[in-house]
Amino acid sequence: MTSLEFTDQVQKISYSLKPVAMNLTRDADDAKDLVQETLLKAMLNKDKFKAGTNLKAWLYTIMRNTFINNYNKITKRNSNIDSTEYFQYFNTDENYITHNGATSDFVVTDINEAIAGLSADYRTPFMMYYIGYKYLEIAEKLQIPIGTVKNRIHIARKELKDALKVYAPGV
């Protein structure tokens, strides 16, 4: 198929692309852009089209893939979470506001005492997990089953929660 024949056939089929593009985008301007991008890609890749195959299906495939790629780009771009609002209100409860640091010193002291009050069987896996070890790494280092590691960390958390419930807001 010559370039002229290819261009002529694409031009004839291009009118049937717009309704499909409208169905995909649900917006007239976006549909026009999608058709234009599809035709541009078809013209740039005309050497990849095999004569004797269905040109209309080939163009629809280009359109669908272009739409999916554009959609994925948009959703990834918009999925970034703006956490500035979240951090603005983070721990603004009056119970947590400290002006001279004394309250936070008491909290840290209480947390350290609660951790020290744990039995060594629970404290060691908990602290390893806290500093970043994975369950499997803890199990290997302590030479205990992974289920035991998970259970001990769970129990340590529960005991710490009970020991520090005075700091739990709204309880």
pLDDT in tens, 103-143: 667 778 888 899 999 999 999 999 999 888 899 999 999 99
CATH number assigned to the domain comprising residue 19: 1.10.1740.10
Q: Find the mean pLDDT for residues 50-66.
A: 92
Last residue of a domain, one of 53, 80, 107: 80
Looking at the structure of the chain, the number of domains it has is: 2
CATH number assigned to the domain comprising residue 145: 1.10.10.10
pLDDT of residue 35: 94
Terminal alpha carbon distance of the chain: 77
pLDDT in tens, 85-95: 545 555 555 55
Q: Find the mean pLDDT for residues 52-64.
A: 92
Q: Residue 56's domain spans which residues?
A: 1-80
163 & 119 share domain: yes
Mean pLDDT computed over every residue of the chain: 84
Q: Find the mean pLDDT for residues 147-158.
A: 94
SS3 string, 33-85, reads HHHHHHHHHHHHCHHHCCCCCCHHHHHHHHHHHHHHHHHHHHHHHHCCCCCHH
Q: Is the predicted pLDDT of residue 2 greater than 90, yes or no?
A: no
pTM score, whole prediction? 0.46
Q: How far apart are CA 171 and CA 100, in angstroms?
A: 26
**Is residue 42 assigned to a domain?**
yes
**Nearest in space to 9 (alpha carbons), one of 37, 41, 46, 64:** 46
